[in-house]
Chain A
Amino acid sequence: GAVVSQHPSRVICKSGTSVKIECRSLDFQATTMFWYRQFPKQSLMLMATSNEGSKATYEQGVEKDKFLINHASLTLSTLTVTSAHPEDSSFYICSISGQGPTIEAFFGQGTRLTVV
């Protein structure tokens, strides 16, 4: 299956700072990637769809100016949490889009963000 790599796996930052999370597709050229968020003891919710070479599509209730997405190449999408607050502390995880039933089914290992 497709390999998706995320970095970092864990990050702690101070309130007000920005944090960048990388999602890489290692063996598949992905024009589309997905970013999900998982709050403690909750399910995964789609935040946004990252499109290579164009603007990301955000789900309702997700602030695009706070969660900046850049998809500059077919193998890399980045999510930057700007001016982080403690309520942004969460598990962020990405996946890639492609043909067939299983491409979207593979996820990166996730990034646990803690804002202090």
Chain B
Amino acid sequence: GEDVEQSLFLSVREGDSSVINCTYTDSSSTYLYWYKQEPGAGLQLLTYIFSNMDMKQDQRLTVLLNKKDKHLSLRIADTQTGDSAIYFCAERPMDTGRRALTFGSGTRLQVQP
């Protein structure tokens, strides 16, 4: 079955880059997602990548995928205090018939002014 793991906490200074890491265990083709959740709020989809891609960039966000190591990262450039939130990675394998997402435990990003 799928298993997604993340580190629990990351603290950076405003203006620095943040890198949030995620590992997954599913060996099949899969979609991988990054979400942001602010306190008391729902999930905001930030970006997603398919497992045949190595990288995807969208403004301040860069997603890197090491398929061999099943390692996914989200880099936030020029991190702002408004980026403080919990970031979840999630996956959805393509060949199991299961269409629901499996989430990591979430990484709490704290941005210090």
Q: Give CA–CA (A82, B29) in the complex, Å.
A: 38
Chain B CB within 8 A of A105 CB:
yes
For B40, the chain A residues whose CB sits under 8 A away are 112
Contact with B along A24-46 (1 / 0, CB 8 A): 00000000101010000011111
**Which residue of the partner chain, among A43, A46, A101, contacts B50 with CB atoms under 8 Å?**
A101
Task: Place the interface of chain B in its size category.
Answer: 10 to 19
Beta-carbon contact of B48 and A105 below 8 Å: yes
Beta-carbon contact of A42 and B43 below 8 Å: no
**Which residue of the partner chain, among B42, B45, B103, contacts A43 with CB atoms under 8 Å?**
B103
Q: Closest chain B residue to A106 by CB distance?
A: B45
Centre residue among B45, B48, B100 by max chain A CB count within 10 A = B100
Beta-carbon contact of A44 and B42 below 8 Å: no
Q: Closest chain B residue to A96 by CB distance?
A: B99
Beta-carbon contact of A104 and B100 below 8 Å: yes
Beta-carbon contact of A49 and B100 below 8 Å: yes
Q: Closest chain A residue to B49 by CB distance?
A: A101
Q: Give CA–CA (A1, B46) in the complex, Å.
A: 12
Beta-carbon contact of A1 and B105 below 8 Å: no
A114, chain B: closest CB distance, angstroms: 12
Q: Give CA–CA (A93, B16) in the complex, Å.
A: 33
Q: Give 12 A-B contacts (CB < 8 Å), ordered by A residue.
A: A32-B99, A43-B88, A43-B106, A44-B101, A45-B103, A46-B100, A93-B42, A97-B100, A102-B45, A105-B101, A107-B43, A110-B41
Residues of A within 8 A of B (CB): 1, 32, 34, 36, 42-46, 49, 93, 95, 97, 101-102, 104-110, 112
Residues of B within 8 A of A (CB): 31, 33, 40-43, 45, 48, 50, 88, 92, 99-106
**Knowing that A36-B100, A101-B92, A106-B45 are A-B contacts, what are 4 other residue pairs whose CB atoms are under 8 Å apart, sorted by A's residue number?**
A43-B104, A46-B100, A105-B31, A107-B45
